[in-house]
């Protein structure tokens, strides 16, 4: 990778290096967000280097056309993209997944030292990117911005896994990193509050939906009267989707579909099979066109977050995409996301891990499709106003511009 000499002449910093595990052509929320941020910085006149992995998520195998040894370097949308080959660990092995993340962080660290950017931006979910990015930035005299979307170091404890004190050690490391970075952005107000000591240049930049995706979802036909419940997203521990399977058991005449992949998929399929549920279908990972088709068939969309104080601070990115479809949304959770949904009247909320409450909310929307369509239209308007990614990105880019204009 060619080195780029940093500006040290008092002029505005020119070279920004972003490090994140997910990037286009992956289609998850993190990939969409980071790709848009990198290209927005390039459009603003910055030299941008993106360090990421070869695309492999959520199938946990490298995509066709990208399966090369070592790394791949391309120029895309004005951004120099350096993709490193990932160490792909089993979905269900947390220790091996952490080692794989650390391996990527170490290699990204070496590339940052060679590139010598003026600003380093590290974006989660890989937790070690924060400390690694801070260290690399300090060694090359760059400013460091940490973009925290999830408190991943706390998730194992939240889902009941034994951590042997590792979570507490990691928490101290992450709080130490937040105190020493030059800028900090988070996805929610709760996450920003978690970092009680943080830099002056801090802001909340929520997840959003791109203009192009908003336009495409706005073109969907109105939902019909024949019921179809859809969950689309990661089938992971944080979502406790056994509750959704149990709700389907209470509504045997309502079809349920789960689109996506993740570490809990096999367990959920076994649970549905064990209960003989013929109304539950697992669609697997869907590409953009297939996902649009699934949305067009759906009449109710469901989001579910595990019951734990940690998740009070989360706002599932899928909520805003769901709302952009114009379908009514049922969100099972607590805290910040529930408050936003309730205050704006853009969905139905129920307590998490309560299949009876979830089934009752779904049944209410199934019985009154006209009310559901009104709810969906109101939610679509909210997303267009308050969760449009182009507007949110403008705020993020402006923050990084202020950071780039400062001297260390």
CA dihedral 242, 244, 245, 251 (to 10 degrees): 150
> Domain 15-208+388-404 is in which class?
alpha beta
Same CATH fold assignment for domains 15-208+388-404 and 211-386: yes
CATH number for the domain whose boundaries are 211-386: 3.40.50.2000
| Domain boundaries defined on the chain | 15-208+388-404, 211-386
Q: What is the pLDDT of residue 91?
A: 67
Predicted confidence (pLDDT) per residue in 61-111, tens digit: 899 999 998 899 999 999 999 999 999 887 667 778 889 999 999 999 999
Q: Which stretches in the chain have pLDDT values below 70?
A: 1-13, 91-92, 159-160, 163, 407-408
Q: What is the pLDDT of residue 9?
A: 40
Q: What is the pLDDT of residue 58?
A: 81
Q: What is the pLDDT of residue 11?
A: 44
3-state secondary structure the chain: CCCCCCCCCCCCCCEEEEECCCCCCCCCHHHHHHHHHHHHHHHCCCEEEEEEECCCCCCCCCCCCCCCCCEEEEEECCEEEEEECCCCCCCCCHHHHHHHHHHHHHHHHHHHHHHCCCEEEEECCCCCHHHHHHHHHHHHCCEEEEEECCCHHHHHHHCCCCCCCHHHHHHHHHHHHHHHCCEEEECCHHHHHHCCCCCCCEEECCCCECHHHHHHHHCCCCCCCCCCEEEECCCCHHHCCHHHHHHHHHCCCCCEEEECCCCCHHHHHHHHHHCCCCCEEEEECCCHHHHHHHHHHCCEEEEECCCCHHHHHCCCHHHHHHHHCCCCEEEECCCHHHHHHHHHCCCEEECCCCHHHHHHHHHHHHHCHHHHHHHHHHHHHHHHHHCEHHHHHHHHHHHHHHHHCCCC
Read off the tokens for 18. Answer: 């972003």
pTM of the model as a whole: 0.86
Q: What is the pLDDT of residue 6?
A: 40
């Amino acid at each position: 990778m060619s080195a780029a000499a940093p500006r040290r002449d008092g002029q505005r910093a020119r070279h920004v290096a972003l490090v994140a595990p997910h990037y286009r052509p992956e289609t998850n929320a993190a990939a969409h967000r980071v790709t848009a941020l990198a290209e927005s910085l390039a459009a603003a006149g910055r030299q941008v280097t993106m360090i990421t992995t070869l695309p492999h998520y959520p199938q946990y195998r490298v995509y066709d056309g990208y399966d090369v040894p070592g790394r791949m370097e391309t120029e895309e949308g004005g951004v120099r993209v350096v993709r490193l080959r990932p160490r792909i660990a089993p979905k269900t092995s947390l220790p091996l997944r952490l080692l794989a993340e650390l391996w990527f962080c170490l290699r990204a660290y070496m590339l940052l030292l060679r590139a010598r950017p003026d600003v380093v931006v590290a974006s989660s979910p890989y937790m070690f990117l924060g400390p690694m990015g801070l260290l690399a930035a300090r060694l090359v005299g760059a400013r460091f911005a940490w973009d925290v979307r999830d408190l991943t170091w706390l998730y194992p404890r939240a889902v009941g896994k034994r951590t042997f004190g590792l979570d507490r050690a990691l928490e101290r490391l992450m709080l130490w990193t937040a105190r020493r970075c030059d800028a900090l952005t988070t996805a929610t107000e709760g996450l920003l509050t978690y970092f009680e000591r943080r830099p002056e240049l801090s802001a909340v930049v929520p997840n959003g939906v791109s203009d192009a995706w908003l336009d495409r979802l706005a073109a969907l036909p109105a939902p019909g009267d024949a019921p179809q419940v859809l969950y689309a997203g990661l089938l992971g521990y944080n979502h406790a989707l056994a509750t959704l399977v149990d709700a389907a058991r209470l509504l045997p005449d309502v079809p349920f579909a789960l689109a996506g992949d993740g570490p809990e998929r096999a367990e959920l399929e076994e649970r549905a099979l064990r209960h003989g549920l013929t109304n539950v279908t697992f669609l697997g990972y869907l590409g953009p066109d297939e996902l649009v088709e699934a949305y067009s068939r759906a009449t109710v969309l469901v989001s579910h977050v595990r019951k734990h104080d940690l998740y009070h601070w989360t706002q599932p990115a899928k909520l805003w995409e769901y709302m952009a479809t114009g379908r009514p949304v049922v969100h099972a959770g607590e805290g910040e996301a529930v408050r936003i949904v309730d205050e704006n009247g853009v969905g139905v909320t129920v307590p998490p891990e309560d299949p009876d409450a979830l089934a009752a909310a779904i049944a209410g929307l199934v019985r009154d499709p006209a009310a559901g369509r009104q709810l969906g239209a109101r939610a679509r308007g909210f997303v267009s106003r308050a969760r449009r990614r182009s507007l949110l990105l403008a705020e993020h880019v402006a923050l990084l511009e202020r950071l780039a204009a400062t001297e260390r």
